[in-house]
Every structure is written in C-alpha cells, then in structure tokens.
Structure 1
Amino acid sequence: MTLKDLYQRPGFLLRRTHQISAAVFENACASVGLTPAQYGVLTVLANEPGLDQTRLARALAFDKVTVMRVCKGLEERGMIERRMSEHSKRQMAVVLTAAGKKLLLEARGPAEQAYQRLLSPLSLTQRHQLIEILEALTQGLADDARAPFVPLLPQEAAAKPVETTTAPKARAPRTNTGRGVATKRR
C-alpha cells in the first residue's frame, strides 16, 4: 500500500473530516465554551427534559462512560442537574438548568456558523449527497458500532405506527461493551 492509497481510504478521510469538524465547531463556539458533545447533550435535553443517562447516551450514540463524563462537566458548570429518575431508582434523570437553557440559546448562532463553515467547500447538491452517503454508511453498518444509536422521535411521530417495506435485519446480540457478540451472518 502506498501513502496515496492510505490517504484515500474512507476510514482515514472520515477520521480527518471528524477532526476538522470538531475544530471548526470548537473555534466557532469558543465564546460559549462548548464542545460538540456538550452541545449535543444540551440539545437533546432541551427536547427531552428528564431523560435518563442511558437513553441520553443512545440518542447521541455515546457510550455510557462518555455521556457520564460530558454530563459531569456540564453539571460542574451548572448547566445541567442529575437527579433520581421518577420512573426508576436505579437511573439518573438529567435536566437543563436555567443557565443551561441560556447557554444553549447563546450557542445556537455559533453552532450554525460552524455547520455552514464545515459545508462551505461543497455545493448545495454535494451537501445533500454527503448527508445521504453518511446516512447510508451509518445505517448500513450500525451493527458494527461500539455504541448503539437510538434516535428520539418527536411525540407525534412516536404515536404513529412505522410502516416498513422490508423485514428489519437481525441484529447480533450486544454485550455490555456495546459490541456485538461474534456470530455468523447468513
């Protein structure tokens, strides 16, 4: 393999793109002091107050350790509070504080600037294609992920039955690490 081959591999390019994406976001949001992970947690909690940490982690495709670390940092800054869940004594519910809501509002402009900056080298058509390709990759390889992604649905969408045109693909059983148990695929 040549270096040119290495530099054109999807994994290399995706990792490099992620580095750039994080840097663009952190530069744009330096004035509010937020990382992409923190912004994601605040955004999810603004839409789902009182969410437990497990569902919060899954809604962002984080492992439990990452979501606990991010929440701890936000809690130390007074942006969120963790309390016992009303539904389960074994789980912690996470809510935004007034300061967290204010910070999220302040961050929306810089976060949008980061989004526009990240996509600025692409035409409008390329932007749509990129999102479609990334969605196809993430959905097609979801079984290989270390952390599960379970998107939260808006209340009205959750009440409607989902129609499927094909049977869902069987998932490999998961271990407590989030990795699937090695099984033979048919």
Structure 2
Amino acid sequence: MDQSERAPASPLERLKVINWAQVQAGQDWIRSRGLTLQQAFVLSYLAENPGAIQRDIAQATRTTAANVSAVLRGLEARDLVERRFEDGDERSKRVFATDAGTELIAGHEEAMTAVDESILAPLTKSERAALQALLDKITAHLSNPGPGDS
C-alpha cells in the first residue's frame, strides 16, 4: 500500500508527532550543553531545590541512590555540582548546583517555549484558542502526570 492509500492519521497520532517534536527539541538542547537527560534533570532539580540530599534527588528522578551517586560524580567532575557536609556531620551531605551548573541549564524553559511557538506558528490566534479548548475538554477527565512523569 502506498502513502496515498493509507488511512489518514488519527488525531492522537498527530499529537504523538507534536510530542515527538517537543521531546526531540528538548533532547537536542540538552545534548548541545554536553549533558545527558538525567544530568540535566538533576541540575534543574538542584537549581530549584538547593541543598537537597541524594535520597530526595533519587526520589525526584525515580531512580536508585547508586544511579544518582554516579550522575553526581559526573557532574562534580565537571564542577557543575558540589556536595557539602551539613553542620560538620560527614554522614549528611547536601548537594548544590554550582554557578556554572545553573548557568549551563539556564534558558531551557525559554528554549522550550520557543519550540512550542514554532510548532503552533501555522495556527491563527482563534485556531490556537479552539485547539486549547478541545485539548482541555479531552484532558479534563485524564490524570495529570506529576513531576518526573512522562
């Protein structure tokens, strides 16, 4: 069957294409900074939660403490994060993004907003409002993923 004989893509298949474009743009932005997705997530988390403990990072990233430790070692080697002892207690380390780490991920939200804008560029203002209303109606009864969910 050639392309002209294929059934038209369903609306949800079209949404997958949009989501794929967003994900690819985000991954490209992260890679352009020499980071993995996990490293970027950890840096973002630490920028919003300075002084977090590794257990909190593991919970936020939905991974193991060992995996978080490996990610932090890589970020530490690049001077993007630092671990500090709390009140001289060597058993209690807090993790902070350094200025270099914070600067490296700065602009991500703006970059993703620009991607969204480019995706929606073919639509008029009223078409965007209609699309938003339809998506709100569809998603009203669906559960909303929390932080870290995809």
Superposed CA deviations along residues 52-108 of structure 1, whole A, max 9, x for unmatched, are: 111121123222122222212211221111222338532321111110121121434
1:17-28 correspondence runs (5 A): 20=20, 23-28=24-29
Corresponding position of 2:106:
105
Query: How far did residue 113 of structure 1 move?
Result: 4.6
Structure 1 residues 98 and 28: CA distance shift in structure 2, 3 A? closer
Supply the distance in 1 between the matched residues of 2:89 and 2:140 (Cα, whole angstroms). 37
Supply the distance in 1 between the matched residues of 2:69 and 2:140 (Cα, whole angstroms). 29
Structure 1 residues 87 and 43: CA distance shift in structure 2, 3 A? farther
Supply the distance in 1 between the matched residues of 2:141 and 2:74 (Cα, whole angstroms). 33
Residue from 104, 113, 135 that aligns with 1:126: 135
Q: Is the 8 A contact 2:25 2:112 kept in 1?
A: no
Opposite residue 33 of structure 2, the aligned amino acid is V
Structure 1 residues 23 and 71: CA distance shift in structure 2, 3 A? farther
SS of 1:133's equivalent in the other structure is coil
Superposed CA deviations along residues 22-51 of structure 1, whole A, max 9, x for unmatched, are: 544221333323333222212221122111
Corresponding position of 2:60:
59
SS of 2:82's equivalent in the other structure is strand
Supply the distance in 1 between the matched residues of 2:68 and 2:37 (Cα, whole angstroms). 12
Opposite residue 56 of structure 1, the aligned amino acid is I
Opposite residue 109 of structure 1, the aligned amino acid is E
Q: Give unmatched runs, 5+ long, in structure 2.
A: 1-15, 121-130
What RMSD, in angstroms, separates the aligned Cα atoms of the two structures?
3.8
Corresponding position of 2:7:
none
Structure 1 residues 50 and 129: CA distance shift in structure 2, 3 A? farther
Moved more, 73-82 or 101-110: 101-110
Opposite residue 64 of structure 2, the aligned amino acid is D
Supply the distance in 1 between the matched residues of 2:140 and 2:75 (Cα, whole angstroms). 29
Larger Rg: 2
Q: Identity of paired residues, percent? A: 25
Supply the distance in 1 between the matched residues of 2:29 and 2:137 (Cα, whole angstroms). 23
Supply the distance in 1 between the matched residues of 2:57 and 2:80 (Cα, whole angstroms). 15
**Runs of 4+ that moved beyond 6 A:** none
Supply the distance in 2 between the matched residues of 1:88 and 1:51 (Cα, whole angstroms). 15
**TM-score, scaled to structure 2:** 0.58
Structure 1 residues 86 and 23: CA distance shift in structure 2, 3 A? farther
